[in-house]
Structure 1
Amino acid sequence: MQDWDDLKVFLAVARAETLSGAGRRLRCDAATVGRRIARLEQALGAELFLRSVQGYALTDAGARLLPHAEAAEGAMQAATEDLGGAAGELSGQLRIGAPDGCANFLLPQVCARLSDAHPGLEIQIVALPRVFNLSKREADMAIGVSPPAAGRLVVQRLADYHLHLAGHADYLARHPPIRGLADLRGHRMIGYIPDMIFDKELDYLAETGAETVGLGSNSVPVQLMAVRAGAGLAIVHDFALPFAPGVRRVLTDRLSLKRSFWLIRHADDRRSDRLTRLAEALAQGVRREVARLEAEVLAGEHTASPAP
């Protein structure tokens, strides 16, 4: 019978598909990972990976070992949860994958409060403008802008949020009043690079009728900073506006978008009380933070002078 450390190395290589990637997860060098895999294969009398210049791919024997290794991982996690830590306190590492808008403007505050409540937690926020692969354990849980249609996943609606057309006050003052969508002609539109939109829910500018993106980025914070610099107009998350002084919503009565965040977990993680509790704490925190920031935007508009 193999010990858990051997199976942990096997799982890391299976998920990362390279020795270097597995080494980073395990916090050891690639050569050590390679030796551990060779030792495991020798002990089992079976080749677990096909080696190539592209990386490490599971053989049939490796694929058969995978569910057993994942079951062992689940058992170890359950034992740790059952035996370790003070009652009610959560600890250990939690890696959250999220689109960069959520990761930049919501998760820092949410995770700060979560860390204060559970000092033993080691929280990692991975901000990437793409869909995360939970089967390869790129993250313990992920936040998406639409529910995935396939995979062994548990999905729950996390929070609804709103977006509006916005521009910096200086930019708006330099241009004619915007009273309708037709007035947007001639304005530089800021948004996603069209061929880098990884989810149809992110095709915000389609709602404006804009045919071209004058200034594009695959990053939400970059788009917002371009708006703040007076480079043009963009569809902006309401919850991001408190972080961009001077950026104001326009045409709120004509153009208002509502989207949702979804919390996505691997189906096997339902057996983990720890991850279930963390998921619920994360969900509650995100909902409260979206509501707080959107309310702040509305309160600010009620005390500000009318937009041009």
Structure 2
Amino acid sequence: MLIPGGHYRLAFTHSILALSQLINAPTHYRLDYPDLALILALVRGGSLARAAQLLKVDVSTVFRAVRRLEAALGQQLFEKSRAGYLPTSLAQTLAEQAERAEQALDAARIGVEQGGEIISGTVRLTCTDSVLQGLLLPALAQFMPAYPALTLELSTSNDFANLSRRDADIALRLTRTPPEHLVGRCLAQVSYRVCGSTAYLETITEQELTALTWIAPDDFLPDHPTIAWRRQHWPGVVPGYRCNSMLSVTELVRAGLGVAALPDFLIGDGLQPLSDPLPGCDTALWLLTRPDCRALRSVVTLFDELGRALKLP
């Protein structure tokens, strides 16, 4: 998820307040990494038993360590309840700090193992939910394990505003004409076909497509090419279902509720094409970024990997 800048400032302010509380603690106790690891394990585990498993020690050791740390800090870190150990705001903030330290340590270890050749950092990627489900997730599963120090933030959206506002670094978009201020490459051509589920088609006797129940993205995607095509060729067809995304349209078709015009990459098991590629509905899959992002090694690496891994069925 992409986080607005104001939220970053708020999180930073909370971190500063938490650290100032520690600085002003009565004993001036100096936290070290084992302290942070203890707090993180108890926040993640939610109980002494689970934290002990994460730390590979016994429960009594965790209990004594937490009591000693709270005494040294002069502040309570956890509240015991029926639900387990609930972190205070201070413990939650310190756990976030601990997680960042853990990630930095992991990245350092990987760098040593790989001789210093390591790709790290955070890359923000935006795409539609249908592209995410149908194309991006299988591609990420192929190569992301090779980049354990690379963090990917995903956002689903149907426009180019994320890149234009600099809220994202890379975009995957279905379009015929990508914005001129972005750079990238065309990965594949995409066509649309009318489809229905095998189960739905077995229940109908009417062979005329116009007489079937239609599912469409009319309300939230008024400019979608399949809508323009249907209105031009079959203006009398009124969809029985309207959805706010093509992925939702696909799931309704898969559930046997009707037919819809779907992109080739979403036509999988259980769905049967009922037409040839629809004329005028073809588009292309584009991989795009901002010109200034080409100087970022993390962005370039992910961009190149996606260009190699994204294949249409």
TM-score, normalized by the shorter chain, greater than 0.5 = yes
**Gap change, CA 1:258 and 1:110, over 3 Å in 2:** same
Give how far 1:257 is off: 4.6
2:140 corresponds to 1:116: no
Give how far 1:88 is off: 5.4
Aligned partner of 1:207 among 229, 244, 249 = 229
CA distance in structure 2 between the aligned counterparts of 1:248 and 1:160, rounded to whole angstroms = 20
User: What value does the CA root-mean-square deviation take over the aligned residues?
Assistant: 3.1
Q: Could you tell me whether the CA contact under 8 Å between 2:214 and 2:258 is conserved in 1?
A: yes
Local SS of the residue matching 1:130 = coil
Q: Could you tell me whether the CA contact under 8 Å between 2:126 and 2:162 is conserved in 1?
A: no
CA distance in structure 2 between the aligned counterparts of 1:172 and 1:247, rounded to whole angstroms = 10
Name the counterpart of 2:158.
129
Aligned partner of 1:28 among 12, 26, 30 = 12
| 1:257-294 C-alpha deviation (Å, 9 max, x unpaired) | 532111221111122344223211111111x3x1xxx2
CA distance in structure 1 between the aligned counterparts of 2:125 and 2:9, rounded to whole angstroms = 20
Structure whose alpha-carbon radius of gyration is higher: 2
CA distance in structure 1 between the aligned counterparts of 2:277 and 2:171, rounded to whole angstroms = 33
Name the counterpart of 1:140.
169
| TM superposition score normalised by structure 1 | 0.60
Name the counterpart of 2:39.
none
Name the counterpart of 1:266.
290
CA distance in structure 1 between the aligned counterparts of 2:188 and 2:278, rounded to whole angstroms = 23
Equivalent position amino acid for 2:152 in 1:
I
Equivalent position amino acid for 2:210 in 1:
R
Q: Could you tell me whether the CA contact under 8 Å between 2:122 and 2:151 is conserved in 1?
A: yes
Name the counterpart of 2:51.
none
Aligned partner of 2:214 among 179, 189, 194 = 189
**Gap change, CA 1:257 and 1:88, over 3 Å in 2:** farther
2:255 corresponds to 1:229: yes
Name the counterpart of 1:74.
none
Give how far 1:184 is off: 1.8
2:281 corresponds to 1:252: no
| TM superposition score normalised by structure 2 | 0.59
Where structure 2 has 5 or more consecutive residues not aligned to the other structure, the ranges are 18-110
CA distance in structure 2 between the aligned counterparts of 1:190 and 1:161, rounded to whole angstroms = 20
Where structure 1 has 5 or more consecutive residues not aligned to the other structure, the ranges are 1-11, 34-83, 295-308
CA distance in structure 2 between the aligned counterparts of 1:110 and 1:19, rounded to whole angstroms = 32
Equivalent position amino acid for 2:261 in 1:
I
Q: Could you tell me whether the CA contact under 8 Å between 2:127 and 2:155 is conserved in 1?
A: yes
CA distance in structure 2 between the aligned counterparts of 1:92 and 1:237, rounded to whole angstroms = 33
Q: Could you tell me whether the CA contact under 8 Å between 2:125 and 2:153 is conserved in 1?
A: yes
Q: Give the fraction of aligned pairs with identical amino acids, expressed as a percent.
A: 22
Name the counterpart of 2:179.
149
Give how far 1:32 is off: 6.6
CA distance in structure 1 between the aligned counterparts of 2:178 and 2:246, rounded to whole angstroms = 21
Q: Could you tell me whether the CA contact under 8 Å between 1:19 and 1:30 is conserved in 2?
A: no
2:205 corresponds to 1:170: no
| 1:232-251 C-alpha deviation (Å, 9 max, x unpaired) | 11011222222xx4221112
Local SS of the residue matching 2:212 = coil
